[in-house]
Amino acid sequence: MFSKVRIRKHEVGLWFRHGDFKQLLTSGAYRLPRIWLGHDRVEIVDRTSSKFEHKMLDTLVAEPGVAEHLTVVELNDDERALVWKDGRLGWVLKTGRHAFWNKPAKIEIEKFNVNDFKFDHPKLEAVLNFPGGSQVLDGIRVESHERVLLFRKGELIEQLGPGLHVYWIGTGKITWKTIDLREQVADVAGQEIMTADKVTLRVNLVATYQVTDPVKAVTVVADHAQALYREAQLALREAVGTRPLDKLLTDKDQVGNEVRNALASRAEEFGVVVRSIGLRDIILPGEMKAILNEVILAQKQAEANLIRRREDTAAARSQANTAKLLAENPQLARMRELEAIGDVLKGVKATFVLGKGDLVEQVRSLTADEQGCALREFSEDHDED
């Protein structure tokens, strides 16, 4: 007529009679009647899992004998809760009724109202990385070179600086836009433009820029990088189209400054500062390249001829000045003659005997072939003596 039931220390027993809850059994041994007949039954519950889940939970938590062993958490639609088990995050709870055994683990409950929208907590990283945390929380990590514009239900509500920012899910559609504040480079490549003298060419432009107002960069234009690219195209066409080809080739820096000035005022309207502009390449059609090369070659040849004529003129002028100076100074002329004779006789071993009379004439006569031979013979005889 009786059945024996043993409840261990970490367990409790739920005693039901004819399907209705009768009593909660704590640790110990019990003799219960008619279990073998099916009138009574005992459900053994392991409390080490801490969370108590049962199909009759609403009925059981209303029983005084059960409620004193449980911590019950009631959450409305706009409430969420964190449950800590022995100091570690164990559960993230949504709307509804939840129950936890008071023993053997220590249970702590934190309730939050999601209408506050932003979630702040000393253990923010642990909560966000918890497996159940991603179901109720959304995190945005902002780097030091970034700014993030946060939108809720399509409305800009906050500009986020560096750090981790966490928000409750289910409080309206949340979107965000990340803006990089570092200096960026835009290549405006392959623009076919006609110059003022009807030459069609391709120009590659390089622009460096930086976002200084993230709100304008997101709200004034749909895409600030694309808007800058488009404005750079228009400014480049305006600057190139008003110049002939030769002026364009010689004033590339001036064209860059003109494009920058035109682009800067427009870019400022959507929160962007233009740092620099430069024409990287100017690509001419094939036939225009050949013509331009011929023109450059002719110019260089003309410059070379002009330089040669200038040098010839300078040389002739120098010779005329020298002749005039020698004519006016006979002694200087004699010295030049002696220098010339000395250059002729360099490396010649000879002895000269000079007498009275014109020194130059004597030297001239001595340099004749016959005289030279005689002098060499005389020199050799003299050396033998």
Residue 126 CA to residue 128 CA, distance in Å, equals: 6
Q: What is the pLDDT of residues 106-162, one digit of tens each?
A: 999 999 999 888 999 999 888 988 988 888 998 899 999 999 999 988 889 999 999
The alpha carbon of residue 67 and the mean position of all alpha carbons in its chain are separated, in whole angstroms, by 60
Collect all residues with Cβ–Cβ distance below 8 Å to 168 and sequence separation of at least 6.
Answer: 80, 112, 114, 116, 117, 118, 119, 136, 137, 138
The structure tokens 């570690």 sit at 88
Identify the weakest region by mean pLDDT among 65-79, 116-130, 278-292, 305-319.
278-292
Between 298 and 209, residue with greater pLDDT: 209
- Checking if the pLDDT of 377 tops 60, the result is no
- β-strand pairing of 79-85 with 88-93: antiparallel
Q: What is each CA distance from 352 to 41, 340, 374, 381, in whole angstroms?
A: 153, 17, 11, 14
The three-state DSSP-derived secondary structure of 259-326 is: HHHHHHHHHHHCCEEEEEEEEEEEECCHHHHHHHHHHHHHHHHHHHHHHHHHHHHHHHHHHHHHHHHH
- Checking if the pLDDT of 210 tops 70, the result is yes
- pLDDT above 70 coverage of the chain, percent: 83
Average pLDDT of the residues in 245-269: 84
The pLDDT value recorded for residue 99 is: 96
The pLDDT value recorded for residue 300 is: 75
The pLDDT value recorded for residue 273 is: 94
Pair 212, 219: CB distance under 8 Å: no
Token readout for 120 is: 């702040």
- The residue type of 365 is S
Residue 195 CA to residue 39 CA, distance in Å, equals: 102
CA angle 274, 190, 292 (to 5 degrees): 110
Q: How confident is the model at residue 204 (pLDDT cuts 50, 70, 90)?
A: confident
Count of other CB atoms within 10 angstroms of residue 137: 20
Token readout for 81 is: 């809760």
Between 363 and 77, residue with greater pLDDT: 77
Bridge partners of 151?
156, 175
Helices (H) and strands (E) in the chain, counts: 11, 20
Nearest CA to 108 out of 128, 85, 74 is that of: 85
- The residue type of 196 is A
The pLDDT value recorded for residue 379 is: 44
Q: Is 302 exposed, middle or buried, given 0-12, 13-18 or 19+ CB atoms closer than 10 A?
A: exposed
Q: For each of the domains in the chain, give its residue range(s) and CATH number, in order of start.
A: 117-179 (no CATH), 184-283 (3.30.479.30), 330-384 (no CATH)
Average pLDDT of the residues in 357-385: 51
